[in-house]
Amino acid sequence: MAEGKSEKFKQLNGVMVERKRPRIHLGDLHTDILNRIISLLPLKEAARTSVLSNHWKNIWCSRESLVFRFYTVLSMHHHIKRCWTSDGQRLNKELFIERVDSVLKQRSGLGVQTMAILYELENEDADHIDRWLNFVIASKTKQLILDLDPYYPKVAPYNFPFKLFNATNSLQLQALKLISVSLKLPANFMGFRNLQKLKLDCTDISDDDMQTLVSNCNALNFLGILYCGMLTRLQTSQPLNQLKHLQVENCTMLQDIQLNFGLTKLEYEGPLIPLAPPGPLLMTNVMMKLSDIDSALEYIFTKLPSTLPRLETLTVNCSELKRATLPEKTVKFMYLKHLRLELTFCVRPREADMFDFACILKAAPLLEILELHMWMPYDNQHYCEDHGVLRSLPNHAHSNLKFAYVTGFYGMKDQLELLRHILINSVMLDAMKIDPRPVVAVPHGTSCHGIAKQTTAMFLMFMKSCLRMFKSVNMRLRRIVGFKSRKLCY
């Protein structure tokens, strides 16, 4: 018998019978592999594996991440059938609570890394939520997310039970995210000593409670505060040496921030407010989305230098309502390596001049990445000779810029002049990416017709001529990532 054939058969009592391969069942895989498989399943599917065998039940009960949200606990059938009536919403809530309780009864013991509740709950459901939080404490969960849906109208928001998280019970908790809850700290609260990340969204926390809460968190390295409408100041009774990243968004009453001692990254959205003098570790990464300034250049050159001298990465998002008025002698950003500008031009006729931004190259000699993201109504035709000769500035070689990314480029005269200046002076530029489609969101209530007044073919022809001009300006440029022919209108 041929050798290949003999491997498929064996001799049994003098008779050749077919050799059968041993079957490998999914449950025979190593426990670590099964744990990985379970972790990738939706919660309700993972729970169903417990009926297969005691082994599968043990695997399910060791799941480290418990994330309860509508579509992982309930089915789309319940959503479609019930969510449009008050009785249906009540039934959905009851079923959600029942299934969360059922899962937590199966999942006992330690080893939970993340526990998340994302559902439309309020203070009338406090008994159930408190019970789940007791599970968090008992299982020594490290990350807790309580998102009770800020868009859902509530009779009364859930009162977060700080009393459960005393100095002992909260030792294991490292990350806490609370959305749409009421926060009233008890007297002499001493919890969250080991908390490293704290994010509060749509809460009613007061200045004093915020100061007490943050002062307790000695290990805090990230603090996020969003839509907390009662805050007027943000400070602590003692320096937070571990705090490196602060995020503040749309806290409309906030007037003062004094938490930036040791910060390295700041994300801020809202009206411009003063920052306290920087501490020994100066901020290097700043993202500002400002609602009440009318010129990014004026802000950068008149507000930033005195408070952020060691800035390496800067993002500014604002509306350009007027042409910038700059001091005769502008400061230099000697450490700035990455600049991202998100600019909305919504005033007609447009007063701001993009060619003014050419001064950035001289002000930031170490700049490596420059991003210019623009939105403007397409009211004017792209540049032609009738618009006059392109303006230019004295050459000033920039030796560090490697990449430029420009969106919302319609080929208007000042846009062409700015890009031409960048190409002429950036002697080490590797690539420039240009796209007519804006990255910056269209202002609310504004009609945007994309590449209006021009056919796609005409616009593409103009853009190709721009690319040829740019390529001829900077012969060292390795590549220009140009325009896609499809979806030019947005």
Cβ-contact 358, 393 below 8 angstroms: yes
- Number of H helices and E strands in the chain, helices first, is 13, 21
C-alpha–C-alpha distance, residues 193 and 292, integer Å: 37
Residue 141 pLDDT greater than 90, yes or no = yes
Least confident of 284-298, 335-349, 380-394: 380-394
User: Containing domain of residue 348, as a range?
Assistant: 284-490
- Give me the chain's average pLDDT, please: 81
* More confidently predicted of 280 and 313: 313
Among 100-104, 261-265, 477-481, which stretch is predicted with the lowest mean pLDDT?
477-481
Q: Are 296 and 318 in contact (CB under 8 A)?
A: yes
* pLDDT at residue 248 greater than cutoff 80: yes
Give alpha helix (H) positions in 292-435.
Answer: 296-302, 359-363, 413-425
Determine the pLDDT at residue 241. 75
Q: Are strands 15-18 and 9-12 parallel, antiparallel or unpaired?
A: antiparallel
pLDDT exceeds cutoff 50 at 135 = yes
**Alpha carbon distance 430, 401 (integer Å):** 8
> 409-419: per-residue pLDDT in tens?
888 889 989 99
pLDDT at residue 92 above 60? Answer: yes
**Given pLDDT bands bounded at 50, 70 and 90, which one contains residue 467?**
low
Percent of the chain at pLDDT above 90?
42
Q: What is the pLDDT of residues 267-277, one digit of tens each?
A: 999 998 877 66
For residue 26, what pLDDT is reported? 55
pLDDT tens for 20-68 read: 555 655 555 555 566 566 655 666 666 665 555 555 555 656 677 888 9
d(CA 46, CA 229): 40
What is residue 455's predicted lDDT score, i.e. its pLDDT?
45
Identify the pLDDT of residue 487. Answer: 41
Mean pLDDT along residues 93-103: 89
Instruction: Pick 279 or 213 by higher pLDDT.
Output: 213
Do residues 308 and 286 lie in contact, with contact meaning Cβ atoms separated by under 8 Å? yes
Mean pLDDT of 473-483: 62
* pLDDT tops 60 at residue 7: no
Confidence of residue 390 (pLDDT cuts 50, 70, 90): confident
**Residue 355 per-residue DSSP state:** G
Cβ proximity of 361 and 426 under 8 Å: yes
pLDDT at 302: 86
Binned at pLDDT 50, 70 and 90, residue 262 comes out as confident
State residue 389's pLDDT score: 87
Q: Which residue has the higher pLDDT, 26 or 190?
A: 190
Taking CB atoms within 8 Å and a gap of at least 24, the contacts of 193-199 are 193/167, 193/217, 193/218, 193/219, 194/170, 194/219, 195/170, 195/219, 195/220, 196/220, 196/221, 196/222, 196/242, 197/221, 197/222, 198/222, 198/223, 198/224, 199/223, 199/224, 199/225, 199/226, 199/247
Domain membership of residue 248 (yes or no) is no
Q: Provide the token pair at 170.
A: 């909260």
Q: Is residue 57 part of a domain?
A: no
Residues shown for the chain: 490
Comparing 179-193, 329-343, 461-475, the range with the smallest average pLDDT is 461-475
Is residue 465 in a domain?
yes
Query: Averaged over 126-135, what is the pLDDT?
Result: 96
pLDDT (0 to 100) of residue 446? 53
Whether the pLDDT of residue 180 is over 90: the answer is yes
Rounded CA-CA distance 471/401 in Å is: 17
Inside any domain, residue 3: no
Within-domain flag for 374: yes
Give domain status of residue 423, yes or no: yes
pLDDT at 450: 46
Q: pLDDT tier at 448 (50, 70, 90 boundaries)?
A: very low
Position 89 scores a pLDDT of: 81
State how far the alpha carbon of 396 is from the alpha carbons of 59, 282, 360, 432, in Å. Answer: 65, 30, 11, 19
Q: Which residue has the higher pLDDT, 84 or 357?
A: 357
Q: What is the pLDDT of residue 486?
A: 39
Question: 171-207: buried (b, 16+ CB within 10 Å) or exposed (e) per residue?
Answer: bebbbbbbbbbbbebeeebebbeebbbbbbbbbebbb
Residue 404, in any domain of the structure: yes
Instruction: Answer yes or no: is 27 within a domain.
Output: no
Nearest CA to 459 out of 486, 419, 423, 431 is that of 486
- The partner residues of 245 in beta bridges, in order of sequence, read 222, 265
Express as a percent the part of the chain with pLDDT over 70: 72
**Structurally, how many domains does the chain consist of?**
1
82 pLDDT band, cuts 50/70/90, is low
Mean pLDDT of 137-162: 91
Higher-scoring residue by pLDDT: 377, 456: 377
Instruction: Note the pLDDT of residue 451.
Output: 45
